[in-house]
Copies of this chain bind each other. A is one copy, B any other.
Amino acid sequence: MARAVNLTPKTGRRLTDSLPQDRVADHVRLLAERPTGFSLAAPFYTDPAFFTADMEGVFGRHWVFAGSIAELPDAGDYITVEYGPYSLIVLRTDDGGINALHNVCRHRGARVLTAPSGTTGNLVCQYHSWTYSPEGELIHASAPGEADFAPGCFNLKRAHAREVSGLIFVCLADEPPEDFDEVSAVFEPYLAPHDLSRTKVAFQQELVEEGNWKLVMENNRECYHCDGHPELACSLFPTWGLTDGIVPPHLADVWERNLSAELSLQQRCARYGLPYEVVEELDTRIAGIRISREPLDGEGESFSESGRRLSKKLLGDLRDFRLGRCSMHLQPNSWFHFLSDHVITFSAFPLEAGRTLVRTTWLVADDAVEGVDYDLETLTHTWKQTNLQDKAFVELCQQGTSSPAYEPGPYMKSEYQVEAFISWYVQRMQEHYA
């Protein structure tokens, strides 16, 4: 069989190439028509064609949080990450770097690695033992008599990967958006004191929610529904969305308690040199971010009923448990809580128009001993419950937006971060089509 290596077809296939043109036109039109302050039209949540457009315009172009250093601390450690139609291998190289490789063998298209995580040297496809280096180079394809076979032309395709403050991000675009450097510079000083390089994974939960990924994110970006989170309510001051001067009388005490806790937290942060100001650029830049440090209610240490610490070991070089929560939201699909005693990372991976995987990971100090320094059930209780409650909320919305009676509804003032998420989404998709 004569074969010239140059024949390798350049498909240049875009995901939306297979969509009926009228669906794409609907997408573009509905983006343009969306009134500020209202949720999206139904097809954004329910239509498989719009989902495909999201995979291309958002998840195919932007930086996506994949996992943390605690999940792949050593050379050869890898995780596999899947969203939409993609599967990526994210692995740590011998020189301590991070590579992201498309998990698709260049021979016959088989998945190369099938475990969610593990440790590997070279990557060997199970099907015909095609063997790739951790850089993705095809280094062996047993091929008797294949004199004209040029392995170098069939390397695993690579994606961009970078690690910032122990968080690992991947980007599928040929040319990733450039402003992530600036955003990294924003969040690095907040995260550095928690030193993720000295943490370990205490628990990881995968929860499949029967709802569009944007409903998952909208739910994440407001606390207007937080009465539905009784466990979490122990930690959050019920003043979310309030501003001075319009505090209802029954919340006056709480308001004062919150102000006092904020003042105390600011003093501690000043003492330890920790940044705490709100940086809020959720829809005013491409790598949208919000980060801040805020007090917790009760003892103010952690996400427990009393507010007391959940792990006895402080993270990094921290010298105080009472540091509230440093919380970060990143567009398009991740959020984080950095506490003195543990860290929680969240990411929403779209599976289908109406299905999303939410992965939650609890990190503790690498010298914390389960059963001694922390109890796993207690550590994870609040957010396990909160996640289940959020799953139910998201699923109610997926059901409702599927009705022709649904029409976009108004975001309340306290839901301004939801508006910011949707506004960010609309801008990114319009740039994509531009």
Taking CB atoms, residues of chain B closer than 8 Å to A144 are 241-242, 246, 248, 413-414
Task: Let me know if B246 and A405 touch, CB within 8 A.
Answer: no
**Chain multiplicity (copies):** 3
Task: Let me know if B412 and A149 touch, CB within 8 A.
Answer: yes
Task: Let me know if A410 and B107 touch, CB within 8 A.
Answer: yes
Chain B: minimal CB distance from A226 (Å): 10
Complex alpha-carbon distance, A1 and B410, angstroms: 10
Knowing A36-B1, A396-B111, say if A157 contacts B412 (CB, 8 Å).
no
Knowing A126-B396, A399-B111, say if A37 contacts B87 (CB, 8 Å).
no
Chain B: minimal CB distance from A140 (Å): 13
Taking CB atoms, residues of chain B closer than 8 Å to A8 are 38, 407-408, 410
Q: Does A128 contact B (CB under 8 A)?
A: yes
Complex alpha-carbon distance, A86 and B402, angstroms: 8
Taking CB atoms, residues of chain B closer than 8 Å to A108 are 39, 218, 397, 400, 409
Task: Let me know if B403 and A85 touch, CB within 8 A.
Answer: yes
Taking CB atoms, residues of chain B closer than 8 Å to A60 are 404
Knowing A18-B43, A409-B154, say if A85 contacts B149 (CB, 8 Å).
no
Knowing A9-B38, A37-B2, A143-B413, say if A127 contacts B407 (CB, 8 Å).
no
Residue with the highest number of chain B CB atoms closer than 10 Å, among A106, A405, A409: A405
Knowing A111-B399, A144-B246, A399-B111, say if A106 contacts B20 (CB, 8 Å).
no
Task: Let me know if A104 and B400 touch, CB within 8 A.
Answer: yes
Q: Does A161 contact B (CB under 8 A)?
A: no
Taking CB atoms, residues of chain B closer than 8 Å to A146 are 412-413
B interface footprint on A198-229 (CB within 8 Å = 1, 0 otherwise): 00000000000000000000100000110110
Task: Let me know if B1 and A409 touch, CB within 8 A.
Answer: no
Task: Let me know if A405 and B102 touch, CB within 8 A.
Answer: yes
Residue from B15, B246, B400 within 8 A of A103 (CB atoms): B400
Interface size of A in residues (CB-CB distance below 8 Å)? 85
Q: Does A129 contact B (CB under 8 A)?
A: yes
- Please report which residues of chain A, range 19-57, place their CB below 8 angstroms from some CB of chain B when the two chains form the complex: 20-23, 26, 33, 35-39, 41-43, 45, 47
Q: Does A271 contact B (CB under 8 A)?
A: no
Task: Let me know if B110 and A393 touch, CB within 8 A.
Answer: yes
Q: Does A114 contact B (CB under 8 A)?
A: yes
Taking CB atoms, residues of chain B closer than 8 Å to A224 are 128
A396 closest partner in B (C-beta):
B110
Q: Does A319 contact B (CB under 8 A)?
A: no
Complex alpha-carbon distance, A47 and B106, angstroms: 20
Chain B: minimal CB distance from A161 (Å): 14
Taking CB atoms, residues of chain B closer than 8 Å to A33 are 9
Q: Does A77 contact B (CB under 8 A)?
A: no
Residue from B15, B103, B129 within 8 A of A227 (CB atoms): B129
Which residues of A pack against B, CB within 8 Å? 1-3, 7-9, 11, 13, 15, 18, 20-23, 26, 33, 35-39, 41-43, 45, 47, 60, 85-87, 102-111, 114, 126-129, 141, 143-146, 149, 154, 157, 218, 224-225, 227-228, 241-243, 246, 248, 392-393, 396-397, 399-414, 416, 419
Can you report 23 residue pairs joining A to B where beta carbons are below 8 Å apart?
A3-B37, A7-B37, A8-B38, A9-B41, A9-B407, A13-B42, A18-B43, A18-B47, A39-B109, A85-B402, A86-B405, A102-B405, A104-B406, A109-B400, A109-B406, A111-B396, A111-B400, A127-B396, A127-B397, A129-B227, A143-B412, A149-B410, A154-B410
Besides A13-B42, A144-B242, 10 other CB < 8 A contacts? A7-B36, A8-B38, A9-B41, A85-B404, A87-B399, A103-B403, A104-B401, A108-B218, A126-B393, A143-B413
